[in-house]
Structure 1
Amino acid sequence: MRQFTITEVSPYVRRVTFANPPVNLVGADTLAELSEAVEILGHDEHARVVVFDSSVPGFFLNHADSEDFVRLLAMTGQDAATPVFVDLTTRLATAPFVSIAAIRGRARGGGAELMLAFDLRYASREEAIFSQPEVALALIPGGGAGERLPRLIGRDRALEVFLSCHDYDADQAEHYGWVTRTVPDAELDGFVNATATRIAAFDKTALAAVKKQVNRATLPPREDLLASSTEFVAAAAGPGFQGRVQALDRLLAEVGAEEVERNMGHYLGMAALPQR
């Protein structure tokens, strides 16, 4: 794998590190490799806890790569009839190991949807940023955020996130319940490692059983995920999305890609983007 590295931290703890510089865009290769990593770890009988992090400063799992959109929309999961995001987020949420996200930097769009599928989400208080920017691009969330986020933070707050397309800092995300908790950046690695080590010391059968119990009470129906994926594909084929992407591309050229990526919530609201 080129974008993901799997490391054995201890006999029962694994770490998966993502790197797709410069800004960790999620493309077709990203999803293919992440699917492969989940498959490998799912068959690792010793893996009880898996920590997911990023080695690219400022970015965790970012939004989809617009230049790879055609391939992304055509991708399916292990079942050829299931869209890749539905397949991957479902397998992450139901994996036989406990998944922990150590979030430094931006988690946006499709990347934020993948983040929601992890069991526990610990965020750097100073560095983590969250956003679902789809509506500003004439889209809707199509990778599970429309179903998972309202279950975490409530209907009105989820609507605020989706409709405003703002960037949310870690403290606000914690207040809403978007993440499990925030931790000072200097303490994040130590906290996550200690949590992973503690959980991994417990019986794997019991860990898997309690995940299944909680999943029954909290995971969205598969039919809803499939419906949202279909609606997303339809929106992506519409003229509104094409016009917004072209305007964003012009803005990227004028202001600079790194500046826009770091402050996307601000730039999505600019008048430079066309109104429908």
Structure 2
Amino acid sequence: MTQQRQFSIEAPAPSIRKVTFANAPVNLVDADTVAQLSEIVDDLRGNEEVHVVVFDSATPGYFFNHADLAQIPQLLSSVTEDGTPLFIDLAVRLTNAPFVNIAAIRGRTRGGGDELALAFDLRYASREKAIFNQPEVATGLLPGGGGADRLPRLLGRDRALEVILTGQDYDADRAERYGWVTRTLPDAELDDFVNGVAARIAAFDKASIAAAKAQINRATLPPQADLRASWAEFAESVTWPGFQARVPQFGELIAQIGLDEVERDLGNHLGTPIQQA
């Protein structure tokens, strides 16, 4: 069976690409998401013409959302030839890419989707529409895609603990204050600003761009070994009784109030007991 394409690619300028994600209805990250995005990153890395890549979403209310719980076995079994989890390999190749990755974030960005966003170089968020969350602990899991490795380097230890241990939704302004995103802008100004940054950077020499990224990466990024270790701990947490007990509860909650309602206010619903019929 041919998998549905979740990404479209445009070339607004010779040295700029725009990659748009759409996995309706709520942009869950599944095994196909990771596989398709991995192929795209490989192609872009091999294109010497590309200096900047902008990532956005065509699904209203959602950027890259959390992982599809039904797809966790497939996500865990997706590995490269050397045994590296494909999700971790993808994130590392994004951060090490010789081009600049820019996220134009509108809507909910949670869990595995947030961990992909954290692998981008620059994150610009809609002040009115962007929401951030790491829900793993609240679902009985550990964050294993880089959230617990990257967020402390951006937010500091205490704020990273707050984010990960509470499982709350954070609006764009607080995310900016915490250092989660590069900058927030009014929604009406987001596209023009991102396009302007992309055009400015794309006008510079690619060798200088790649070298500057490499220098900053050495000073700021978690070692790949740490990311792999976090993924292994995440894989182990999938077997924990707490997660196994919570999966059917979330199914019941979705049945009661609907997927859209659960996803729109996930941070609050994570702390709400299941209502008995």
Shared fold per TM-score greater than 0.5: yes
The residue correspondences of 1:39-118 to structure 2 (distance < 5 A) are 39-77=42-80, 79-118=81-120
What is the aligned counterpart of 1:239 among 223, 238, 241?
241
CA distance in 1, matches of 2:86, 2:271: 30
Cα deviation for residue 144 of structure 1 reads 0.6
Matched, 1:200 2:202: yes
Q: What SS does structure 1 have at the residue aligned with 2:144?
A: coil
The residue correspondences of 1:111-130 to structure 2 (distance < 5 A) are 111-130=113-132
CA distance in 2, matches of 1:262, 1:37: 29
Q: What SS does structure 1 have at the residue aligned with 2:274?
A: coil
Q: What SS does structure 2 have at the residue aligned with 1:271?
A: coil
Cα deviation for residue 212 of structure 1 reads 0.2
Kindly provide the amino acid, as one letter, of the partner of residue 131 in structure 2. I
CA offset digits 1:26-53 (Å, max 9, x no partner) = 0000000000110111011100000000
CA distance in 2, matches of 1:43, 1:237: 39
What is the aligned counterpart of 2:217 among 215, 218, 237?
215
CA distance in 1, matches of 2:210, 2:91: 17
- 2:228 corresponds to: 226
What is the aligned counterpart of 1:30 among 21, 30, 33?
33
Cα deviation for residue 239 of structure 1 reads 1.8
What is the aligned counterpart of 1:12 among 15, 20, 25?
15
Kindly provide the amino acid, as one letter, of the partner of residue 211 in structure 1. K
- 2:273 corresponds to: 271
Kindly provide the amino acid, as one letter, of the partner of residue 262 in structure 1. R
- 1:132 corresponds to: 134
CA distance in 2, matches of 1:187, 1:38: 27
Q: What SS does structure 1 have at the residue aligned with 2:209?
A: helix
Cα deviation for residue 80 of structure 1 reads 3.7
Question: How many residues are treated as equivalent by the alignment?
Answer: 272
Q: Which moved more, 1:109-118 or 1:240-249?
A: 240-249
TM-score by length of 2: 0.97
Cα deviation for residue 272 of structure 1 reads 2.5
Matched, 1:173 2:172: no
- 1:160 corresponds to: 162
Cα deviation for residue 70 of structure 1 reads 1.3
Kindly provide the amino acid, as one letter, of the partner of residue 270 in structure 2. L
CA distance in 1, matches of 2:182, 2:149: 18
- After superposing on structure 2, the runs of 4+ consecutive aligned residues of structure 1 that deviate more than 4 Å are none
Kindly provide the amino acid, as one letter, of the partner of residue 165 in structure 1. G
CA distance in 2, matches of 1:220, 1:142: 13
Q: What SS does structure 1 have at the residue aligned with 2:49?
A: coil
CA RMSD of aligned residues (A): 1.0
CA contact (8 A) 2:55 2:103 kept: yes
Cα deviation for residue 271 of structure 1 reads 2.3
CA distance in 2, matches of 1:203, 1:112: 30
Kindly provide the amino acid, as one letter, of the partner of residue 213 in structure 1. Q
What is the aligned counterpart of 2:5 among 2, 26, 49?
2
